[in-house]
Amino acid sequence: MSSGGHGRSRLLARNSALNAAGQLAPLLLAIPILPYVLDTLGTERFAVVTLAWTVIGYFGFLDLGLGRAATKFVAGMLGEGRGDEIGRVVWSSLALQSLLGLAGAAMIAAMAPFIAADVLRIADSALLDEARRTLIVVAFGLPLVLLSGTFSGVLEAHQRFELMNFVRVPANIATLVIPAAGAALGVSLPGIVTGIVIARACALLSFAALAMKVTGGLRPVPPSGPLLRQLLGFGGWLTVSLLAAPVLMYAERFLIGGLRSLTELAYYAVPFEIVARTAVIPSAVALTLFPAFSSARGSAETVAALFRRPLRLLFLLQWPLLVVFWLFPGEILTTWFNEEVAVAGAHTLRLLAIAFFFNGFAHLALAGVHGLGRPDLKAKLDLIQVPLYLATAALLTVRFGITGAASAKLLFTVLDTIILFVFARRLGAPPLIEPLLRRGNALAAASAVVVVAALGASAIAPLSVRIVTGAAAVFVLGGAFWRRVLEPGDRAIVLSLLSRRPLEEATP
């Protein structure tokens, strides 16, 4: 690969590491903060704050995918040398997001009494009034969140993830710290959420300033009719997937609670939340790859390289985690919770670990499918998957409990991953299996078969046997993969990141 290709790969690797660190920092901070906020505010007031977090942080479907659409179109223009047209994309997106934000704010404000009284079912009159006023504040904050998506998308399109995380990480931390500080000082719920909204306003201004800096200025221009239609078209298909994603991710929880029991739901939720944390790694990589694919559209060689290298490196990162979850689920659950949870949830943890292992690769395939301009493929797949998944998960949950629910999750995750790679292959991705079957990689293939068989046989072995098997699985298969599957440029990137040497010194 050329030195330019090496430099691009190292930039993507660095940005992926930045994104992973940016996502992990708030997660780690949440561990001590959330119990404190819950204990200090009480269950009902904490539920109101949680609702505010959900709307302000994750109400992305009101965006209609416009933030991602802006990233895609800006990155595409940069790749085609049309940087002078970026301003029209940005201001067209901002115009649409302003309208959507105001409509969403009006909807939340109008529904505030209903949400407080009938959804949250708050009986205390004082708390009911406090919740209503809190939701009004949340409504004012929604447009700020949506507008931030366009400006942060400009930074993503320019691969300036260090600037994006420079703003996003403090904003996410503030979303956690402000409720803790407010609870300690006895601030009312509207006051706490006002603090969160102010933090989001500061983030919006920071994103806007940085976006103008990297583009050399974004002079206001009238929205473009054709661009508005293109943004809505791309974002509309993304919205279908955004609406389907929570169903595919969390529907089995409602099925377990409704068809089995709340106790079994707790036994399922614990291993799920543990394993789900591993999604930080592939989601960080996918976040970096999405604008890279958008810029590379039209260059078959670059598109193929963007698929190959991240997939190989992601395997090196995910494989040790899968081995640990497979061999030591009981020990993990006992250490973090108790023996009762460990006995009930160990097998579920194993199945979910495999599901999230495959899901990690699905993140990368989806980044390619979206970045190469075909969000409709995933959306149409979701429209088919959702009813089938709900029916399958319901049947397996009734018959086998939480193990059945985890089995449904694994089945549909594997199918989703395979189909996404079929889509990606049609859009220019290289074949993934054929290189592993070449003569030179026979040792790696043989090692994989032996190691997987040993892991399966050792699942119920004594702890000492599992420790030895786990170490061998990581080092034998990892070593074979390192020597036989990774290319010299892959190894150079890993070594340069670990040693902090310039890539040119590390590249053979």
Model pLDDT for residues 337-386, shown as the tens digit of each residue:
778 877 888 899 999 999 999 999 999 899 889 888 889 999 999 999 99
Q: What is the dihedral of CA 121, 125, 127, 128, to 10 degrees?
A: 50
Which two structure tokens, joined as six digits, stand for 262? 């709340």
Question: Contact at 8 Å (CB) between 135 and 115?
Answer: yes
Q: What is the dihedral of CA 244, 248, 253, 256, to 10 degrees?
A: 120
CA atoms of 414 and 476, how far apart (whole Å): 25
pLDDT, mean of residues 423-436: 72
Question: Contact at 8 Å (CB) between 163 and 214?
Answer: yes
Question: Contact at 8 Å (CB) between 178 and 192?
Answer: yes
Handedness of CA 89, 95, 98, 103 (dihedral sign): negative
| Helix/strand/coil (H/E/C) assignment for every residue in 312-377 | HHHHHHHHHHHHHHHHCHHHHHHHHCCHHHHHHHHHHHHHHHHHHHHHHHHHHHHHHHHHCCCHHH
Amino acid identity, position 375: P
Model pLDDT for residues 230-260, shown as the tens digit of each residue:
888 888 888 888 888 878 887 888 888 778 8
Tell me the helices (H) and strands (E) count for the chain, helix number first.
20, 0
Query: Does an H or E element contain 85, and which?
Result: none
All residues at 6 or more sequence positions from 409 whose CB lies less than 8 Å from its CB, including other chains: 252, 351, 352, 355, 393
Position 186 pLDDT exceeds 70: yes
Which two structure tokens, joined as six digits, stand for 228? 């508005």
Running DSSP on this structure, what letter comes out for residue 2?
-
Place 387 in a pLDDT band, splitting at 50, 70 and 90. very high
- How high does pLDDT run on average in the chain? 80
Which two structure tokens, joined as six digits, stand for 381? 């797949």
CA atoms of 28 and 26, how far apart (whole Å): 5
Which two structure tokens, joined as six digits, stand for 163? 């600037």
What is the pTM assigned to this prediction? 0.77
Question: Contact at 8 Å (CB) between 423 and 380?
Answer: no
Q: Residue 351 has what pLDDT? A: 93
Position 180 pLDDT exceeds 50: yes
Running DSSP on this structure, what letter comes out for residue 401?
T
- Stronger pLDDT, 406 or 79, i.e. the higher one: 406
Closest to 19 in 3D by CA, of 306, 286, 256, 249: 286
267-271, 293-297, 463-467: segment of lowest average pLDDT: 293-297
Q: Residue 56 has what pLDDT? A: 67
pLDDT, mean of residues 482-490: 68
Handedness of CA 275, 280, 282, 287 (dihedral sign): positive
Per the listing, tokens 């892991």 go with 455
